[in-house]
A and B are shown apart, each in its own frame.
Chain A
């Protein structure tokens, strides 16, 4: 394949499951297409967790390398590929955070998405569903009470346990558990009402 920014013709039309099947058969172009589709989001997530582009790059490289090696063992009927992918990126980024003691970015700030970043790669958000989900989840987060958003972000982006969060905030454990639950349930309901979950 040539220019990394150019999607391979034909492959962009295949869904994730079809690409994974081809990857399992050793098809490099299918891997390239899967990376074009999900790599930028994966990188952005790793970067958000780590705050360090070089470590984020290593995490994403590792994850896609694992996909290349183990595509045949992923069973798409069990969950959506993206659920698995982003869970893997998050887990590895948090592992790297702990291992290398990378200083994380401030945990609970919602950064406005700059027009510059969004426009940098026009192919990235070609999927209308991803765009819609992105908008909805931001709205849902913004609609959460600050205290709920804070615990959710500490859990998801820092990988802290509820005890660590309770200690950090000086709040009772029960309060933290209950906030985590409420926050997640509200996000779920918000997305479900908009038909973004099956």
Chain B
């Protein structure tokens, strides 16, 4: 190992311990993006740093800690339908933001929103989603969709009876259980029969190339 690399290893060790000030940490992050060898080193040092947690003498937590945790979990905040409640709150907020301007300036009668459920497909069997359509605008609410791998995005597709597909746009999920995204709805939307979401390279594809994560039936 040369001297310069040794110096950089010192940075990596400090980085793995979280002992670098933000500007130096940012420089390390930039280097790591293009250096698999250093990423490996950091991963090793991180595991080592974690082992320090095992150097601490064990002190049993008070029993009430587990009781408090389980009591909080049992509050009706989660379940098969509660998430829709949370999602709906998000949707209402986003719909207001997205749709308020056109509604204020337009006088056309508002149409009741249509909600289309989406099921998890082969690449994300546990994911769920809803497509909400109102006045030709679409919002996609997702649950349990993992952050896509680096350099990849999710892409929405509308499928017509002849199996032709048109893109509804791309999105990236954040590491959160729920997400809300705007979807570009084709102007001749009533012609489409199905909707799907696939994993595609950054920027999207002209037609689906990756595995499917969500699908739903439009009519």
CB distance from B21 to the nearest CB of A (A): 5
Docked complex Cα distance between A89 and B144 (Å): 24
Given contacts A31-B69, A161-B21, contact A24 B126 (CB under 8 A): yes
Main secondary structure of the interface of B (DSSP, over half): helix
Say which residue of B14, B50, B55 sits within 8 Å of A87 (CB atoms): B50
Say which residue of B17, B55, B60 sits within 8 Å of A120 (CB atoms): B60
In the assembled complex, A11 has its CB within 8 A of some CB on chain B: no
Residue count of chain B within 8 Å CB distance of chain A: 50
Interface string of A65-94 (1 = CB under 8 A from B): 100111011010001101100110111000
Complex interface: chain A residues within 8 A of B14 (CB)? 155, 162, 177, 180-181
Complex interface: chain A residues within 8 A of B54 (CB)? 41, 130, 133-134, 137
Known: A31-B73, A155-B17, A156-B49. 11 other contacts (CB 8 A): A26-B79, A44-B56, A45-B53, A83-B46, A91-B18, A137-B51, A180-B10, A184-B45, A187-B52, A191-B51, A196-B51
Which A residues are within 8 Å of any B CB, using their own CB?
Answer: 1, 4-5, 24-26, 28, 31-32, 35-36, 39-41, 43-45, 47-48, 53, 56-57, 60-61, 64-65, 68-70, 72-73, 75, 79-80, 82-83, 86-87, 89-91, 110-114, 117-118, 120-121, 124-125, 130, 133-134, 136-138, 141, 152, 155-157, 159-163, 165, 177-178, 180-181, 184-185, 187-188, 191, 196-197
